[in-house]
């Protein structure tokens, strides 16, 4: 094509349409025509994207990448993208999403719009969609570093830590000092149990960038996990010296459980709470920490007030619906009958490797894991998200207000699919198996909701139900701030309903799969450790080892709220601690109903 594209085709738009039609037939011809267009309009974003697409189809990846990056610069002049960006900045997510989808319908390779739509998906909680969008974005423009960093972050948030590390290392190859890339890599290393490597990585960031309070806090978390409590406290204090209003650092000190706040600490937290300019996130963390300080001082009324304020602030941010948990219970009981399991006997993956410890948070599950992990044949890991992620995928993506097809979709799976799912689980958790031992503990407490899935895909896995008095367990959860995933713990009524639903579902599985679940009652473990440990090991098919009674000598990394408690011998002072708060637990008792009086025996199904 000779001369200006506008003269040959009449208008730029006509020329672009012609080049688009030629793309499938002859990418090289399309490239020639687009280059003519760019002679007339060198900053035309759509033409640059078409150039990138034509070059990519010819296998000229680096040139295509450069074209897409040029289109990004040109997009900053695009009024449609500017309007979408303004809507996103103002958190008008529905408006931004509609605008961006309209743009991408017309310009499907607009990498700026793809990245912005991914950000919208993240804010809407659609991490799978965000991952897919960002994967496409970096495929189109491999050196679009902003999108790749977003991609690595979403991979981390979705529990794909090894993939996140790979992306972070790709970014670091070009910018080895970048603190954000280094921090993400360190966090992902900690997530897969490479805690010492994470400590080294965080320390390296702080050597170069010492004025980073949140990195000091992350270092504190990693040091806590390996039992370096004094160093952990120092790291949290360094964070607070830089940012006195960083509520999570105050809470992290409280969450060590062994730190006692001084009057100066209490005064400092009180001053921060009096500020009008701190975020709700800092505020509720401070309330939880101040509750711990007042509890340690024996002022239980004031402590409860602090816990209640912190919980109310956190609950306001969440969309947890107790009715959805109850509905899951009803549907699971309807699906998982003796006949259902009998029809699928012998299916799934036969590997006996996993030991699932389920129940509620703050029920003694970390103690159970630590006891098991002290056995020569068992490796502890952490609260693994894999069963929950697989369940969500099986159920399909449910829009807000619609119902997932899980657990009913399990009935449609073939024997081959069930076996493949069991094998997938083992592959997913392999990264946590550092010691080569035959058994691995997965202590995600919420997996009790997925015992049907576990039975179908891993019928020879062991299941341990860690159970604690409903008021002790319930109030312990109420005064604990969880980073994520426990939305039912921020309201006493929600807690009571959740505990009652949990007990009812476990009773159902006791009835349809007799003997399948071994139950560890926390108070019995405290009263007679040796008898309970022997019973626990026998239920797992393991010979007794004395090291399991000396679990507190195990120096493995522990990342849960009980990390410091399981480094000490079993103590009895926590079992009835809830009684100090008995006057304020009416909503919890009412929601528990008959479950409270029936403890520790499960109610009838």
What integer is the mean pLDDT of 322-333?
95
- Other residues' Cβ atoms within 10 Å of the Cβ of residue 549: 17
Please state, in angstroms and rounded to a whole number, the distance separating the CA atoms of residues 349 and 454: 10
Task: Supply φ then ψ for residue 441, to 5 degrees.
Answer: -95, 130
From the list 419, 421, 371, the residue with the least C-alpha distance to 522 is 371
Task: Supply φ then ψ for residue 589, to 5 degrees.
Answer: -65, -45
Q: Is the pLDDT of residue 17 over 90?
A: no
Contacts of 543 (CB under 8 A, 6+ apart): 537
Q: How confident is the model at residue 26 (pLDDT cuts 50, 70, 90)?
A: confident
The structure tokens 């601690």 sit at 577
- At 9 the pLDDT is 41
pLDDT tens string 207-248: 999 999 999 999 999 999 888 999 999 999 999 999 999 999
Share of the chain above pLDDT 90, in %: 69
- Partners of residue 582 on adjacent β-strands: none
Please state, in angstroms and rounded to a whole number, the distance separating the CA atoms of residues 27 and 353: 52
Q: Is the pLDDT of residue 534 over 90?
A: yes
Q: How confident is the model at residue 561 (pLDDT cuts 50, 70, 90)?
A: very low
Q: Is the pLDDT of residue 379 over 60?
A: yes
What is Dmax (Cα atoms) for the chain? 91
What is the 8-class DSSP label of residue 354? E
- At 602 the pLDDT is 60
Q: Is the pLDDT of residue 11 over 80?
A: no
CA distances from 267 to 193, 309, 321, 481, 539 (A): 37, 18, 37, 21, 50
More confident position, 118 or 69: 118
What is the 8-class DSSP label of residue 513? S
What integer is the mean pLDDT of 361-382?
93
What is the 8-class DSSP label of residue 566? G
What integer is the mean pLDDT of 364-375?
93
Complete DSSP assignment for 52-71: HHHHHHTT-HHHHHHHHHHH
Q: How confident is the model at residue 28 (pLDDT cuts 50, 70, 90)?
A: confident
pLDDT tens string 33-65: 778 877 767 767 777 777 877 887 777 867 877
Residue 192 near residue 162, CB atoms below 8 Å: yes
What integer is the mean pLDDT of 431-436?
90
From the list 483, 563, 481, 554, the residue with the least C-alpha distance to 232 is 563
Give me the architecture of the 5-75 domain, per CATH.
Alpha Horseshoe (1.25)
Q: Is the pLDDT of residue 79 over 90?
A: no
What integer is the mean pLDDT of 484-493?
92
The three-state (H, E, C) secondary structure of 136-185, written as one string: HHHHHCCCCHHHHHHHHHHHHHCCCHHHHHHHHHHHHHHCCCCHHHHHHH
Q: How confident is the model at residue 82 (pLDDT cuts 50, 70, 90)?
A: confident
Please state, in angstroms and rounded to a whole number, the distance separating the CA atoms of residues 460 and 451: 12
> What's domain 348-598's superfamily in CATH?
P-loop containing nucleotide triphosphate hydrolases (3.40.50.300)
Please state, in angstroms and rounded to a whole number, the distance separating the CA atoms of residues 258 and 411: 48
Please state, in angstroms and rounded to a whole number, the distance separating the CA atoms of residues 390 and 410: 11
Please provide the average confidence, as pLDDT, over all residues in the chain: 89
- At 573 the pLDDT is 59
- Other residues' Cβ atoms within 10 Å of the Cβ of residue 6: 17
Q: Is the pLDDT of residue 567 over 50?
A: no
- At 556 the pLDDT is 52
Give, in degrees to the nearest 5, the angle at Cα 402 between 396 and 406.
Answer: 40
Query: 347: phi > 0 → left, psi -120 to 50 → alpha, else beta; which?
Result: beta
- At 213 the pLDDT is 95
CA distances from 486 to 244, 315, 397, 519 (A): 27, 11, 20, 22
Residue intervals in the chain for CATH 1.25.40.10 = 5-75
pLDDT tens string 157-209: 998 999 999 999 999 998 898 899 999 999 999 999 899 999 999 999 999 99
Residue 392 near residue 406, CB atoms below 8 Å: yes
- At 16 the pLDDT is 65
What integer is the mean pLDDT of 407-430?
97
Q: Is the pLDDT of residue 562 over 50?
A: no
- At 325 the pLDDT is 94
What integer is the mean pLDDT of 267-283?
96
Q: What kind and span of H or E run contains 437?
A: none
Residue 385 near residue 395, CB atoms below 8 Å: no
Please state, in angstroms and rounded to a whole number, the distance separating the CA atoms of residues 108 and 133: 11
From the list 4, 75, 71, the residue with the least C-alpha distance to 33 is 4
Residue 162 structure tokens: 């090894």
- At 144 the pLDDT is 82
Please state, in angstroms and rounded to a whole number, the distance separating the CA atoms of residues 326 and 321: 9
Q: What kind and span of H or E run contains 9?
A: helix 5-9
Residue intervals in the chain for CATH 3.40.50.300 = 348-598
- At 65 the pLDDT is 72
Task: Supply φ then ψ for residue 212, to 5 degrees.
Answer: -120, 90
Q: Are strands 378-380 and 439-442 parallel, antiparallel or unpaired?
A: parallel
Q: Is 519 helix (H, G, I), strand (E, B) or coil?
A: strand
Residue 156 near residue 164, CB atoms below 8 Å: yes
Q: How confident is the model at residue 72 (pLDDT cuts 50, 70, 90)?
A: low
Q: Is the pLDDT of residue 124 over 70?
A: yes
Q: Is the pLDDT of residue 594 over 50?
A: yes
- At 227 the pLDDT is 87
The structure tokens 């996103």 sit at 88
């Amino acid at each position: 094509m000779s001369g200006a594209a506008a003269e040959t085709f009449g208008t730029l738009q006509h020329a672009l349409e012609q080049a688009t039609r030629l793309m499938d037939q002859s990418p090289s011809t399309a490239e020639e025509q687009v280059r003519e267009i760019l002679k007339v309009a060198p900053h035309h974003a759509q033409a640059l994207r078409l150039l990138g697409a034509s070059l990519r189809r010819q296998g000229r990846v680096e040139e295509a990448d450069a074209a897409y990056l040029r289109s990004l610069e040109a997009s900053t002049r695009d009024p449609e993208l500017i309007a979408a960006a303004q809507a996103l900045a103002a958190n008008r997510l529905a408006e931004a999403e509609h605008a961006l989808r309209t743009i991408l319908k017309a310009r499907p390779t607009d990498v700026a719009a793809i990245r912005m739509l991914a950000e919208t998906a993240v804010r809407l909680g659609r991490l799978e969609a965000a991952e897919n969008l960002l994967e496409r974005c970096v495929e189109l423009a491999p050196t679009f570093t902003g999108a790749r960093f977003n991609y690595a972050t979403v991979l981390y948030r979705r529990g794909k830590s090894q993939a996140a590390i790979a992306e972070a290392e790709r970014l670091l190859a070009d910018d080895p000092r970048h603190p954000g890339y280094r921090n993400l890599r360190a966090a992902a290393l900690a997530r897969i149990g490479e805690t010492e490597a994470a400590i080294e990585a965080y320390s390296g960031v702080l050597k170069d960038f010492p004025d980073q309070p949140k990195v000091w806090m992350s270092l504190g978390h990693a040091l806590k996990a390996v039992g370096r409590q004094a160093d952990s406290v120092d790291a949290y204090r360094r964070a607070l010296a830089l940012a006195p209003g960083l509520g999570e650092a105050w809470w992290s000190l409280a969450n060590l459980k062994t730190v006692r706040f001084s009057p100066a600490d209490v005064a400092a937290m009180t001053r921060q709470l009096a500020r009008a300019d701190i975020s709700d996130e800092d505020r509720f963390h401070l309330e939880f920490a101040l509750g711990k300080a007042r509890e340690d001082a024996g002022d239980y009324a004031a402590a409860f007030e602090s816990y209640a304020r912190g919980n109310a602030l956190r609950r306001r941010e969440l969309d947890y619906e107790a009715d959805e948990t109850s509905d899951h219970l009803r549907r699971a009981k309807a699906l998982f009958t003796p006949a259902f399991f009998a029809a699928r006997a012998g299916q799934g993956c036969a590997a006996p490797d996993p030991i699932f410890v389920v129940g509620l948070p703050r029920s003694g599950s970390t103690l159970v894991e630590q006891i098991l992990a002290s056995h020569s044949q068992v490796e502890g890991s952490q609260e693994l998200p894999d069963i929950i992620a697989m369940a969500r995928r099986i159920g399909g993506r449910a829009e807000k207000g619609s119902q997932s097809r899980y657990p009913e979709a399990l009935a449609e799976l073939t024997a081959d699919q069930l076996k493949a799912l069991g094998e997938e689980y083992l592959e997913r958790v392999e990264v946590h198996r550092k010691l080569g031992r035959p058994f691995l503990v997965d202590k995600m407490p919420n997996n009790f909701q997925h015992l049907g899935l576990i039975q179908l895909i891993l019928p020879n896995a062991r299941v341990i139900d860690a159970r604690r008095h409903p008021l002790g367990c319930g109030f312990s959860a109420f005064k604990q701030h969880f980073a994520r995933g426990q939305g039912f713990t921020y309201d006493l009524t929600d807690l009571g309903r959740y505990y009652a639903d949990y007990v009812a579902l476990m009773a159902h599985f006791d009835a349809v799969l007799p003997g399948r679940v071994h139950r560890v009652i926390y108070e019995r473990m405290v009263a007679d450790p040796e008898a309970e440990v022997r019973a626990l090991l026998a239920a797992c098919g393991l010979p007794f080892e004395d090291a399991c009674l000396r679990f507190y000598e195990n120096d493995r990394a522990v990342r849960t709220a009980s990390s410091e408690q399981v480094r000490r011998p079993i103590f009895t002072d926590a079992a009835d601690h809830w009684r100090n708060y008995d006057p304020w637990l009416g909503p919890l008792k009412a929601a528990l109903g008959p479950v409270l009086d029936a403890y520790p025996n499960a109610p009838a199904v």
